[in-house]
Amino acid sequence: MNKTKYKYCELLGTAFTLLIGVILQNLYTLAADEPLSLIIASVNGSVWEKSKVFALPYAVWAIITYAVSKPRFKAFFVAKTVGAYSMIASCIALNCLAIGIKGTNYGFVEVIINLASVATGYIVSYKAYSFNKDVSNIFIPAVFGVALFVAAYFCFTFYPSHIEIFYDDRLNVYGIPRTTYYGDLYLDVMYG
């Protein structure tokens, strides 16, 4: 594997993930009548919804990086899993910190948080892959970690816990707002 090519893939991935993630943060309001937007976009302004939208572009870029740079699969998978968890955790932590300090999250602060979180994910991923120790021995826990995240991704979108990271203070809702046809239809079917 060419380390220079891999490093450039990670740098481009930071920009790609940030750009697509920001688009996905606003996609639900732009395409609220599309059921796919319930799954891939941020359905409200909660900390979780602001954070989860970076997972999909991160995964897409991981596939592109793997195809271009041909790294060792198990070590790459572990590194990307650790990077994804670091990215989401830092995004949640920084958003909560900003809300705690300011009482709300302002646009320019959100941009800085998004950039810092995505960069954290890619830096951790790169460092984990470049680590001199063999990390492929934790491949199975990494697979479990990805499966757990995918389950949480869908579960917390449709059935969010009533804790602060899932609460949108602007819409006064947890999860999918009842302002769209699909939100009404889904919630009526589920809670009837």
Band (188; pLDDT cuts 50, 70, 90): very low
Among the ranges given (17-31, 86-100, 173-187), the one the predictor scored with the smallest mean pLDDT: 173-187
137 closest CA partner among 70, 71, 78: 78
Q: What is the pLDDT of residue 179?
A: 56
Give the domain ranges of the chain.
Answer: 3-191
pTM of the model: 0.81
pLDDT the model gives residue 182 = 47
- Distances from the Cα of 102 to the Cα of 39, 108, 136, angstroms: 30, 12, 42
pLDDT digits (tens, 9 = 90+) for 82-130: 999 999 889 888 887 877 776 665 677 778 888 898 899 999 998 888 8
Q: Is residue 3 a contact partner of residue 76, using CB atoms and an 8 Å limit? A: no
Amino acid at 98: A
Assigned token pair, 160 = 């969010």
pLDDT in tens, 158-173: 777 777 777 777 666 7
Amino acid found at 53:
V
Q: Are 56 and 118 in contact (CB under 8 A)?
A: no
Q: What is the pLDDT of residue 1?
A: 58
Q: What pLDDT does residue 145 have?
A: 92
Which of the 8 DSSP states describes residue 166?
G
Average pLDDT over residues 66-81: 88
Q: What percent of the chain has pLDDT over 90?
A: 16
The pLDDT value given to residue 95:
80
Q: Are 158 and 168 in contact, with CB atoms under 8 Å apart?
A: no
d(CA 23, CA 97): 23
pLDDT value of residue 184? 45
Q: DSSP letter for 40, please.
A: H
